Amino acid sequence: MTEYGIVFNLDACIGCRACQVACKIWNGLKAEETSFNPRGYTNPPDLSPNTWMTMVFHEGRTGNGPFWLFHKWQCMHCSEAPCAKACPVNAIEVHPEGPVVIRPDKCVGCQYCIEACPYNVPRYDPETNKVYKCTMCVDRIQNGLAPACVEACPTDALEFGPWQELVEKYRSMGYEIYGDNVNDYVGHTHYLYVTRRFKDIGKEEGKTWNEYIGLPSDPRGALLPISAGRTLGAGIAAAALAGAVLHAIYWRAKRVQEKSKH
């Protein structure tokens, strides 16, 4: 089975939001009423159960003058998928092609996946008691099609293909890459961010370029506390069950002994 990835090229994106619209259309997501965002031009300003990706706008100045920088925000589809490990009902599937997908029919709304995600992606809907996020268009990939956002991009800022080939291609062209080998918590990500033009952005603030756009160099979530809590809970439940069984055996033995006396 081929492992796929999607490259987002910061140098080529023009912030047109065609990918954002394509995502809404393909997944049948409801439009949301938005208003002026005082923090900038990002709109909708956040992800939601009906907005699985949004274009984040950055503006600033460097020694070369003002700049615009855009980045696409959605699920990163981690190879180690901490959200899937945190889910107590196995409602999150990690597909061999790369997509990490929440099964709404299995989701119980516990929100452990939200706590485990270091990228702040999954969103809970209190109306349905379910959690939602980007699926990487797994339905399209499994039918030989590129994800909808990739198909819609007019500047080829998004590229879909075999994961390893994408990494080797952009590495050979001298691009900085985020996602090819992140850490032991997320593994590698199937969304890859690349740049040459903006590789020095954020240095004045003591940040790397990926940290500047909101991608942590060492992403960590609450998977360990969740796993520990579940393990402890399972241990307590097992101990309680064992106690109940022993009590039943003792009670039964005592009853038999009492009857034998009469």
User: Rounded to whole angstroms, how far apart are CA atoms 51 and 132?
Assistant: 9
Long-range contacts of 199-207 (CB under 8 A, 24+ apart): 200/62, 201/62, 201/67, 201/69, 204/62
User: Rounded to whole angstroms, how far apart are CA atoms 213 and 116?
Assistant: 21
pLDDT tens, residue by residue, 109-121: 999 999 999 999 9
Q: Which listed CATH number (3.40.50.300, 3.20.20.70, 3.30.70.20, 3.40.718.10) goes with 4-221? A: 3.30.70.20
**What is the value of pTM for the model shown?**
0.85
Output the CA angle 132-136-142, nearest 5 degrees: 120
Closest CA to 140 of 131, 150, 130, 155: 150
Range 232-253 burial, b when 16+ CB lie within 10 A, else e: eeeeeeeeeeeeeeeeeeeeee
Ranges assigned E (strand) in the chain: 4-9, 54-62, 65-73, 92-94, 100-102, 123-125, 130-132, 158-162, 176-178, 191-195
Average of per-residue pLDDT values in the chain: 89
pLDDT tens, residue by residue, 36-59: 777 778 889 999 999 999 999 998
The amino acid at 49: P
Q: Model confidence at 29, in pLDDT bands (50, 70, 90)? A: very high
Residue that is written with structure tokens 């180690």 in the block: 80
Which of 32-36, 37-41, 133-137 shows the lowest per-residue confidence on average (mean pLDDT)?
37-41
